[in-house]
Amino acid sequence: MQLDRFLCKHADYSRKTVLQLLSQQQVKVDGQTIQHREFLVTQFSHIEVQGKTIQRHTARYYMLNKPAGFLSATTDPVHPTALTLLTGIDTSDLHIAGRLDRATTGLLILTNDGKWSRQLTEPKSVKAQKIPKVYFVETAYAISPTTAQRFAEGIYFKTEDTTTSPAQLEIICKKTSRLTIYEGRYHQVKRMFAAVGNRVVNLHREKMGKISLDPTLKLGEFRALTLNEIDWIL
Ligand code: URA
């Protein structure tokens, strides 16, 4: 948004006052005096007028090792949500980048940066379609030798009338495997295994793109993402 529009909208100044403040060098964006009314600001720009902060909004990114039993939602009347585990920080503007089912454990990413999270998870984003999501899977029955081939060819989902994009299955032992998918459809991993006559009994997300679940995080613990973990997506 243009700086003059932002100030009229958010700081309740008249347009005339905004132009005066700009020409009198009374407006700073991220510490720099700005006189240009068309200067572009974002939801994360730090904006000051006459020394008073009008917007202080920093982008924040976290990873949580989600335990079973917590919903990937910001609020819920019945079940505890993953956000309640982020104690000691302001969670009011956070959202989840790539949900997990209530019983699924592992890597959950939370942020207040919608543009960033859309690149990671938006189904239509070309970038998101290339981002591998890696799951450790335990199944009720031994994995049949044809499963990897079936997943690589794609599994047809009747509800959406679509075929999943090629996925890689690494069989670890009889009933455990590591599955890499490139989408995030509803119950995708469970439905893929159900389609080949198996059943997922434990599901744990290990990785999304270059962000791996920090092995030092116990279930229910979280930490801020590092700059490297944030920047690779840009
Ligand atoms: N696929 C599922 O079936 N469940 C999840 O939580 C994530 C992927």
Check pocket membership of 104 for ligand 1, CB cut-off 6 A.
yes
Q: Is the CB of 203 under 6 A from ligand 1?
A: yes
Q: How far is the CA of 60 from the centre of ligand 1 (A)?
A: 25
Q: pLDDT tens per residue, the chain (234 residues)?
A: 999 999 998 777 899 999 999 999 999 999 999 999 999 998 889 899 999 888 877 889 999 999 999 999 888 899 999 999 999 998 988 999 999 999 999 999 999 998 899 999 987 777 778 899 999 999 999 999 999 999 999 999 999 999 999 999 999 999 999 999 999 999 999 999 999 999 999 999 999 999 999 999 999 999 999 999 999 887
Tell which one of 188, 196, 204, 207 to mutate to probe ligand 1, the residue whose CB is within 8 A of the most ligand atoms.
Answer: 188
Phi-psi region of 98 (alpha: psi -120 to 50; beta: other; left: phi over 0): left
Using an 8 Å Cβ cutoff, are 211 and 97 in contact? no
Q: What is the pTM of this model?
A: 0.83
E strand spans, 140-230: 156-157, 162-163, 168-173, 176-181, 200-208, 211-212, 222-224
Please check whether residue 113 is in contact with residue 58, taking contact to mean a CB–CB distance below 8 angstroms. no
Structural domains of the chain ordered from first start: 3-55 (3.10.290.10), 61-227 (3.30.2350.10)
Catalytic residue among 4, 93, 101, 231: 101
Query: 100 CB less than 6 Å from ligand 1?
Result: yes
